[in-house]
A and B are shown apart, each in its own frame.
Chain A
Amino acid sequence: MLSRIADSLFWLARYIGRAEDTARILDVTFYTLLEQIQQPHGVRWDPILSMAGEETLFRQLYTEPTAHNVFEFLAFNANNPSSIMQCFTKARENARTIRDRISREMWEDLNGLYFTLGRFDPQEETAAGPHRFCGRVIFGSHRFHGVSDATLPHDEGWEFLRVGWALERAEMTARLIDVQYRNLLALNSSGAIADNHQWMAVLKSVGAYEAYHRQYHSPIEPARVAEMLILNSQHPRSIRYCVTEMQAGLRAISNTAPGSYANEAERLTGKVLERLRYSRIDEILDDGLHAYLTGLIHMFNTIGEVIARTYFYYAAVA
């Protein structure tokens, strides 16, 4: 497989994953915050902006983080490179350059979704609230996964998609917990309201609300939410699950047996995974959750770079 094509598949998955994650967080946060109108805008909306990593840009483009502005910025704004529409534009562009290597069904599904989303009117949607738009994005992302799974041969190209999806999710889950945790601890210490609505929102935004209750049969506790989203071995959005997926994908690409590694990307992934497997949540909290998550996010970035150096941009000498 051409390096350029592998690169495009990897990023195709990442862009769609990013769009879906943004839609999930936007959707859930929006409706949770409707019930907390006594809080000033900034307190309510800053976390979601920092999660997207685009706070500075937002401040340049808007005066106030109102629900309307945040939605417009994260969903539609063409100047925001991580907005949902920009992610889909780039995903489609990537798919177009490799449409001979993806299945016809994948291309038609993504192309159709791109046109469907393009027909949403930003004015109308920002007035109506994000549920309709975000719902379409989330459903579209799921369908694209399904179509890819069912129509693309599960060869190395498929594995690059898989690694891209897993890496994007792992990083987004880490950001989500980090931001919410910091934020809620800050609220608690300042004596402001401490309720579990935002933790509920966190669980809902990764689709883990029902799973949490099945697992713990108890009210929502921040430590358990963190445990579920970091260490759970089965939930498809927990960091541990995503890293397991990354490892499986990377091993399939290089055809490496379990217990060994063929390159730096696999070594780092394996190292992260071992820590996730043998850590307990109280140890992580005792050592400091923020530092732990920051370390993970940094590691995910490094792994992304190392994958690129190993497979996409190596120095070519015959």
Chain B
Amino acid sequence: MNRRKMLKAGGAAFLALAPGVRLVDLAVAASKGGSTDHLVRWGMLVDATKCARGCTDCVDACNQEHGLYGKGRAETDAQYIRVVDLQDKATGKTSSLPVMCQHCETAPCVDVCPTGASFRRQDGVVLVDKHTCIGCRYCMLACPYKARSFIHENLTDQVPHTPRGKGTVESCNFCTHRVDRGGTPACVEACESKDHRALVFGDMNDPDSELSRQLKEKSTTQIRSDLNLNTGVRYHGV
């Protein structure tokens, strides 16, 4: 076979593969066998009008669920949810709301990650593959929500469903270990059990879900909506 024939054969093989086959399809097919679905987009609504100032029920539940404990150093202790107090300078109106990973559709952390450790699951949850994370912390710089934490020290007593370790970055994972089994995140469950009902979790793509129904009824906003990140966490009453 001379060079001309070889090129012809190669071109034919390429054309035979190209129509109708996309790498995305291959990736979706490869991931079958799990519970993630590219038609689902998990999201959350935070009704800040129901968030009492000083309430930390969601944060406490999160810390317990993921085995987060501080070393008494607020600047560097890992936190998946932060409670932020706001005050409108013009009117003096105050509000208190939890801020966690917003699970953006176009997540800046995924864009900047040099190793591909930051990724977005096909159901919209943004995660860190800690086996691939090199701890460079570019994602922490890129995140407009200050959602991620870096683990500076050796840890002990990790819980089985949330492996955590020194030298990696982590953040809210929408409690995928619960959601994959049909449950809701720990913060949402805690908020409901304490009868605050400030957090609603569900599928944003399902028009019949409680989340979609409330998003349709209430006026909601995305934090830093100017960045056009299409966040999975929406706020009412901010």
**A and B associate:** no
Taking beta carbons and an 8 Å cutoff, which residues of B are in contact with A?
none
